[in-house]
């Protein structure tokens, strides 16, 4: 285990099992349709790679970059979307893919942005959900795990751009981020 990790919350095996279930559910729910997986970078990159390989549909992968944290463990509350959407959304089935749903600020802003372009449908899928921290009411359509109110890293999630490569999700030791 990485020395900065307090505790492993979700192991590689648990995550792998849960993503298989999510992939099977999405495959069933979208049977016969084409689906655009729209990943929110950078945190989604590991989750999206694994999820996409567990979805047995005609899938297109797109990304956008959003950030609200910078080099801090406290959300700035303001969402920066760093890339304009440069693909067709109108009339298509879109699913936003996030690493973690926390205050809800990011997904609320991104959902509004995508809806402006009139998709046929828009759903959201998040690996982790920290409901205790919600500032804006938001419920994801697909959730991997409900997460305790701790700062977590690994499996794509970072603190100051570090730890994204850990194969599990763990809580970060307080002395690292305080």
Q: What is the C-alpha separation between 166 and 16, in angstroms, rounded? A: 14
Residue in 43, 154, 156, 170 binding Mg ion, rule: CB under 5 A = 43
Q: What is the smallest separation between the CB atom of 149 and ligand IMP, expressed in angstroms? A: 9
For 153, residues 6+ apart whose C-beta sits below 8 A from its C-beta are 4, 5, 159, 162, 163, 164, 166, 169, 170, 171, 172
- Looking at beta carbons only, is 26 or 40 nearer to ligand IMP? 40
Q: For 35, phi and psi rounded to 5 degrees?
A: -125, 135
86 in active site: no
Residue in 105, 114, 122, 127 binding ligand IMP, rule: CB under 6 A = 105
Q: Which does 154 bind (CB under 5 to 8 A by kind): Mg ion, ligand IMP, none?
A: none
Q: Which does 9 bind (CB under 5 to 8 A by kind): ligand IMP, Mg ion, none?
A: none
Q: What is the smallest separation between the CB atom of 33 and ligand IMP, expressed in angstroms? A: 26
Q: What is the C-alpha separation between 17 and 109, in angstroms, rounded? A: 30
Helix, strand or coil, per DSSP, at residue 29: helix
Nearest to 124 by CA among 95, 154, 144, 100: 95
Nearest to 155 by CA among 62, 76, 42: 42
Give the contact letters, 62-101, x = binds to ligand IMP (CB under 6 A), - = no. ------xx-----x----------------------xxxx
Decide: is 143 part of the binding site for ligand IMP (CB under 6 A). no
Binding residues vs Mg ion (CB under 5 A)? 43
In the complex, the residues that contact ligand IMP under the rule CB under 6 A are 40, 43, 68-69, 75, 98-106, 151-153, 157
């Amino acid at each position: 285990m990485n020395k900065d990790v307090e505790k492993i919350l979700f192991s590689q095996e648990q995550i792998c099992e849960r993503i298989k279930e999510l992939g099977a559910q999405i495959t069933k729910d979208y049977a016969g349709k084409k689906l655009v997986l729209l990943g929110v970078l950078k945190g989604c990159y590991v989750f999206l790679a694994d999820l996409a390989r567990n979805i047995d549909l005609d899938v297109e992968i797109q990304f956008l970059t959003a950030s609200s944290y910078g080099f801090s463990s406290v959300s700035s509350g303001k969402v920066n979307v760093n890339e304009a959407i440069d693909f067709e959304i109108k009339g298509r089935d879109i699913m936003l893919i996030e690493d973690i749903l926390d205050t809800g600020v990011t997904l609320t802003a991104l959902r509004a942005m995508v809806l402006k372009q009139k998709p046929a449908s828009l759903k959201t899928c998040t690996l982790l959900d920290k409901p205790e921290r919600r500032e804006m009411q938001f419920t994801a359509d697909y959730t991997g795990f409900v997460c305790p109110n701790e700062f977590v890293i690994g499996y794509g999630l970072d603190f100051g751009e570090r730890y994204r490569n850990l194969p599990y999700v763990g809580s970060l030791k307080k002395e690292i981020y305080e």
